[in-house]
Structure 1
Amino acid sequence: MSATLEHPSAQGWRAQLQLTFARRAGRTRIVERQHRGPLLVQRPFYPEEDVCHAYIVHPPGGVVGGDELALNVDVRDGAHALITTPAAAKFYRSNGRTARQQQLLRSHDTALEWLPQESIFYPEAKVRSTTRIELSAGAKFIGWEIACLGLPARRQQFIAGELHLHLELWVDGTPLLIDRLRIAEGNQWGLGGHEAIGTMVAYPATRAMVDAVRELTPTGVETGVTLVDKTLICRALAAQGEPIKQAFIENWQTLRPQLLDRAATPPRIWAT
């Protein structure tokens, strides 16, 4: 299904994107692509020959109160997909309405890498965002979410607004990670005064992978790494999002050869 962009209604944009990846003729391809509204994917890239690199694009460039975005990704049939974004996602000040984002990522005995750039939540934004990852026991996954609160470079703190940020990881119907973060009216309890927070997940992980990540020494960021139920979880805090992103990229470069038996090949869009 394809659709032309329409002007937003009084309630805001409604945008949906459905992508299905499958292995065909020796490489991963997008075998199904449906979109409605301003959420789409650029043409697939193949810097690794058989792995499909896909860039999710939101043409308006930012999300406002009343907007609703829905992303559904399904990876199957021996495919290997790497998904990222060309720029940071921006959630602007609300006019009283709530912006909503729902992302469902499924991998069936395949490999999925979810490496979006950071989300920036402007002061007075009102956002509910959920990312749910559903894996089969034979799947392999590396991914992260990075949230930047306010605009630290402009000295604009997130002292008003409301965020509900949810991150879930399920394997064969069993929850391995249920993360709930709520920030309202400047209440950032537990962040130690930091303005950026990130969570990185890798599955299935080993103690050797955890040790390898712990040996890294990122600058400008505080990190903690755990291993529970074969799930590596790295949490990060920093004054801004960039140090977290660089730390997670370094983690990915370390983990990818061990988990996916591939050297890390950064998406080309990261260099632009």
Structure 2
Amino acid sequence: MTLGQRTRTGILHLRFENQRGKTVLTRDVQKAPLMVIRPFELPCGTLMVFVVNPTGGVLGGDHSEIVAEVGAGARALILTQSATRLQPSPSGAVATQDIRFTVAAGGRLEYYPERTLPFAGSAFYQTLRADLEDGAELGLTETLASGRVQMGERLAFADYRSRVELWRGEKRLYRDHVRLQPGEATRAPGTWGQWNYAASGVWVGGGVVEQWPALPGQLACGQTAGGAVWLRSAAERGPELDRALNTARESLRAQLFGARPLQVRR
């Protein structure tokens, strides 16, 4: 097997539990190239971990498996330390990532990774499934760049797919399936148009949204029949998208979770 044919399988299994009123990380199984930095407790009481890939990025054929379980009364926040860089795949091999979340009643899990950056010629398939008990809270976002724009690689990746599903028992609350294979269709207005960055998000909580975040032509929110609150946003520049997404996220967290703003130091 040549160096270009070798693949890696990263594994990360985490469990968060409430012990005497504090959230603690009770299970931490890691296999390179996935790892987490030690947990940090935020001022609001949420326990935060950063997922780290110390290599140069995700290579064609790589596979990652992330499993996180949150027990009753626990509050967990999972972030990534940096953007997910999808490296070119000359052989055409697809990199894959499977994410599975389970949240017990009264628990809360939030997953807000940094943006995914697909290099020219990369191929990546991701699946994310969350199973929630009644009374569980969940927040997710996903941010995708159209490529290394400053390097002239806009919409030059080979294939990108992402499927997100949220379930409560046998009831599906939300499903989002994205498949992008750059070509004339992805350059048409309404798909990417002039935008270089896009984001999506979904939240499930016990509160009611009375003030819906919105920016005409840039950000919109709504609610599924199952009660999940979804978000879509796009922008020409990354910082512009990040500002809009963070403002909307904190508004929805406050209304759905009754949560204080996240104060994260990197």
Settle same-fold status: TM greater than 0.5. yes
CA positional deviation for 1:135 = 1.2
What is aligned with 2:41?
46
Q: Deviations over 1:101-144 (max 9, x none)?
A: 11111111111111111111112111111122221121011221
Q: TM-score, normalised by structure 2?
A: 0.89
Counterpart Cα distance in 2 of 1:66 and 1:264: 38
Q: TM-score, normalised by structure 1?
A: 0.87
Aligned partner (choices 20, 26, 30) of residue 21 of structure 2:
26
Contact 1:26 1:50 in 2 (8 A): no
CA positional deviation for 1:70 = 0.8
Counterpart Cα distance in 2 of 1:121 and 1:139: 33
* 2:68 pairs with 1:67: no
Unpaired segments ≥5 residues, structure 1: 1-7
Contact 1:152 1:239 in 2 (8 A): no
Unpaired segments ≥5 residues, structure 2: none
Aligned partner (choices 57, 65, 84) of residue 89 of structure 1:
84
What is aligned with 2:116?
119
Q: Deviations over 1:36-76 (max 9, x none)?
A: 22101110101226320111111114101011111001001
Counterpart Cα distance in 1 of 2:30 and 2:121: 29
What is aligned with 2:228?
231
CA positional deviation for 1:261 = 2.3
Bigger Cα displacement from structure 2, 251-260 vs 103-112: 251-260
What is aligned with 1:5?
none
Contact 1:66 1:97 in 2 (8 A): yes
What is aligned with 1:100?
96
* 2:180 pairs with 1:179: no
Counterpart Cα distance in 2 of 1:35 and 1:9: 24
Contact 1:19 1:32 in 2 (8 A): yes
CA positional deviation for 1:205 = 6.2
The amino acid that maps onto 2:102 is R
RMSD value, Cα: 2.1
Q: Deviations over 1:193-242 (max 9, x none)?
A: 12322111111366x5253423xx49xx7112111222111111222443
Counterpart Cα distance in 2 of 1:258 and 1:147: 26
Aligned partner (choices 127, 138, 141) of residue 130 of structure 1:
127
Q: Deviations over 1:4-41 (max 9, x none)?
A: xxxx8943111100000001132101101111221011
3-state SS of paired residue (1:252): helix
* 2:263 pairs with 1:266: yes
What is aligned with 2:209?
209
Counterpart Cα distance in 1 of 2:150 and 2:96: 26
Cα gap change, 1:154/1:10 in structure 2, threshold over 3 Å: closer, same or farther? closer
